[in-house]
Amino acid sequence: MIAPRRFLPSIPSLLALEAVDRLGSASAAAEDLSLTQSAVSRQLKQLEEQMGVDLIARDQMRMQLTPAGAGFAQEARGILTRLAQASVKLRANPDGGSLNLSILPSFGLHWLAPRLKDFVAGHPGITVNLQTHNLPFSFEGSTTQAAIHYGTRDWPGVEYLPLMPKHVLPVCAPGLMHAPAATPEELLNFPLLHLETHPDSWEQWFALHEVPAEKLRGMLFDQSSAMTQAAVHGLGVALLPTFIAEAEIAQGRLQLAVPGAPVTLGSYFLVWPQDRATDYPLLKFRDWLIGQIGPQEVS
């Protein structure tokens, strides 16, 4: 529900306040907004009268905002920025809107990107804008409508659509070993590669194979793509998602470090804030994702 009209300042008055806060003077704000200095002063005066709060410290030789005015200007800057971004999106795609999706680099590159052409073809009025993240972030104040998450349901304040388990395989360059290890325990004799965002993955993998292993050390990487390249160049054994590992094995760049089936470490989810749940582009994208992963994966 939108607040009563008396609490909604005009766009010109907010622009004037933001410009004075950013530039430090009415003259600079006037030049920035292509207005006269008196016009900027009138906008600020009208805003003060509407809010019933002093926004300008008038006992100063140079125009300065009061603490209340500076705080309000910061809020206004965020609102004006989001409004401008929404206007750009509307002009760029007037038919169906856009979806701002934050993705995990490896999942986005190797699983989502090859399939995304199908969504674009089926929904020509929706533009998908992608950005990457490695860790959960706050949706508050962000233009991001949804994100791909890996792990457990530990992203606060969001709704979840389970996508699929993360199946991993231990892989290495063919030259690192004369032959694959006979047992999981033998991998402890080789350098192990780790992801900064999930540094306990190897401990989980060994625990699933009933092999004691604690506080394992090794090279750290911030993305799976970098860790994959390190494994290809023989720097150690990496735990990679099957959608990466199997492609690298097929090309002969990597091999299984030990025989065995993939194991499951966590799951992938689509997450979104509750106030975005009914966004048309997000609804269509969720429906499409469910079709891509199949009903057997959704729970």
Domain termination residue (choose one: 74, 92, 110) = 92
Residues 65 and 146 in one domain: no
Average pLDDT, the chain: 89
- What does the alpha-carbon distance between residue 202 and residue 212 come to, in Å, rounded to a whole number? 11
Which among 36, 64, 92 is the end of a domain? 92
- Asked if 24 and 172 sit in the same domain, the reply is no
**CATH number for the domain including 85?**
1.10.10.10
pLDDT at 13: 92
Whether 12 and 52 map to the same domain: the answer is: yes
Q: Rg of the chain's alpha carbons, rounded to an integer?
A: 26
| CA–CA gap between residue 132 and residue 113 (Å, rounded) | 13
70-107 pLDDT per residue, tens? 999 999 998 898 888 777 766 665 555 889 999 999 89
% of the chain beyond a pLDDT of 70 = 92
Does 243 lie in the same domain as 103?
yes
| Whether 253 and 178 share a structural domain | yes
Please determine, for residue 2, whether its predicted confidence score (pLDDT) is greater than 70: no
The span from the CA of 193 to the CA of 172, in Å, is 10
In tens, the pLDDT along 4-26 reads 677 788 899 999 999 999 998 88
CATH code for the domain of 184: 3.40.190.290
Instruction: Tell me how far apart the alpha carbons of residues 79 and 83 are, in angstroms, rounded to a whole number.
Output: 6
- Note the pLDDT tens digit of each residue in 245-267: 999 999 999 999 999 999 999 89
- Mean pLDDT in residue range 167-173: 97
pLDDT at residue 299 in the model: 33
Letter for the amino acid at 34? S
Please report the pLDDT score of residue 149 as a whole number. Answer: 94
> How many Å apart are CA 226 and CA 195, to the nearest integer?
10
SS3 13: helix
Residue 140 sits in the same domain as residue 225 = yes
| Average pLDDT over every residue of 168-190 | 95
Which pLDDT tens digit goes with each residue over 182-225?
Answer: 999 999 999 999 999 888 999 999 999 999 988 888 999 988 99
Q: Which amino acid is at 55?
A: L
Q: How many domains does the chain have?
A: 2
Same domain, 26 and 150: no
Which pLDDT value is given to residue 112? 94
Q: What is the pLDDT of residue 134?
A: 86
Question: Is 147 in the same domain as 292?
Answer: yes
Instruction: Give me the residues paired with residue 151 across strands.
Output: 267
Amino acid at the residue 35: L
Domain containing 82 equals 5-92
Tell me which of 33, 59, 92 is where a domain ends.
92
Q: Output DSSP code: residue 7.
A: G
Do residue 107 and residue 254 come from a single domain?
Answer: yes
| Residues 87 and 147 both lie in one domain | no
Shared domain for 210 and 80, answered yes or no, is: no
Please give the pLDDT value at position 82: 83
Same domain assignment for residues 152 and 269: yes
